[in-house]
Every structure is written in structure tokens, then in C-alpha cells.
Amino acid sequence: MSTVHIEANKEDIAPVVIMPGDPKRVEYIASKYLEDKKLVNQVRGELAYTGYYKNRKVTIFSSGMGIPSMGIYSYELFKDYDVKAIIRIGSAGSYTEDLNIGDLFLVESSYSDSNYADSYGGGSDKIVYSHAGLNEEIITTARMHGIKLRIGRCHSTESFYKENFDYQKFRDEKNCDCVEMETFSLFINAQELNKKASCILTISDSYVTNEKLNSEQREHDFDEMIKLALEAAIKVN
């Protein structure tokens, strides 16, 4: 079985999927953390490897960039491959002074002015929530491993480059702590298809201090986030 965007056989995709945006990050995670890994997708350059982490089958699948790309892949994984849960891992830009470069952030809810929710007839739904049970598993896992985790709302935007961008508006009016580009469609799909979805972010940029990680650091310096996602993934029933 395959879809327009995924060439994998159904049995090649694990029930729990970890989704970075970057295909290179998929390769890095698979190479460093998975045993008996197998490349199961490379259509359009979006790579997926399935292997074993501590004897549990896990798939690492790149989502690409943006709400539409995440929307396509997460929908097909949930709907056509019977995936139970997706944990997105990625980078984010901080909107607040107390959310610093390198901090880990667990998304409780995602705000967006995207029209993606219209595809389900829910155009007025501009805030969507992650799965509470999956989030609790991630929080518990973080405590067990001594990992500090911030929790809150992210701004899921469709525009990476913005002229005269007022990040304080989203912080003060929408209660957003940081910004990224994929959670909104992931959470919408999970909600509509009765699946589990969550997102762990590493703060890579700060609108407050103008600090940012370079492309190499973004690809390789997220090991704490990766380990947290893997440890939580193998506990999902």
C-alpha cells in the first residue's frame, strides 16, 4: 500500500511516529538512535526510517516545512497507515524574555490565523489543543530524566519572513510564547481523526534578544529534545 506522497508499505510504519521537519534531521536521528533501521520513504525528498529504540518499533518521518506540508503527511499517516500518535519535534522562535535559546517547550495549544481548519468546516477554530494524555506522558518522562520543560501556547504561522513583524501582539493578545510553522495542521488532523498528537520544540531563535542558532546547530544540537521524544514514544500504548 502507498499514497500519493508516501511509498512505504503499511507494515513499514510504526504506530508511533516522531516528525522533525528536516529530512537531514531524520537521517541524524535514525543513524544515532535506531537499531535495525530501514529507509521506508523518500518520495519528494521527505525521508522516513523505521527501526527500533530500546526494542520498540518507531518511525522517524520528515514533515517538510509549513502547515500544508505537515497537514498532508500527518493526515496520510493517521488515516492510511493507522498511526496512533505523532510527536512533532522542531525549532521555534521565542516571544518572551524567560524562554531562552536551547530551552525545551511542550506545546499545549496552537494559535493560527491559517485557514487550514476550514477543510473540516471549522474555520472559526483558531486555537487547537495537543493530546492531553500524550503531553502528560512527555511531562512525566521529562521529570524522570531531569529535563526542564516549559509548557504553553505557540503561534503557528504560514509566513516565515515578515516585514515590520510585531511579535508582542501575538504574545500579549494571543498568549503565545513562541512561534513555529507546523503544529496547527497536525493538531487539527489528530483532533478530527481521533488520534494523538503533541509537539516538543527547542528554542532556536529569540525575537527579544535577536539570538539564533545556525543551520548546522539546528540540524545536530537538539539531542535532549530527540531523546525526550523517543523515551516518551516507546511508552505510548
Q: Which CATH number fits domain 10-233: 3.40.50.1580, 1.20.1260.10, 2.60.40.10, 3.30.70.20?
A: 3.40.50.1580
Tell me which amino acid residue 117 is: A
What are the extents of the domains in the chain?
A: 10-233
Per-residue model confidence as pLDDT tens digits over 23-58: 999 999 999 999 999 999 998 888 999 999 999 999
The pLDDT tens digits of the residues spanning 174-224 come to 999 999 999 999 999 999 999 999 999 999 999 999 888 877 776 666 999
Task: Compute the distance between CA of residue 124 and CA of residue 91 in angstroms, rounded to an integer.
Answer: 27
pTM, two decimal places: 0.94
Under the banding of pLDDT at 50, 70 and 90, the label for residue 124 is low
| 112 phi-psi bin (left φ>0, alpha ψ -120 to 50, beta other) | beta
| CB-facing half-sphere around the CA of 92: CA atoms within 13 A | 36
How far, CA to CA in Å, does 21 sit from each of 53, 55, 87, 144, 180? 20, 25, 11, 27, 11
Catalytic machinery residues: 205
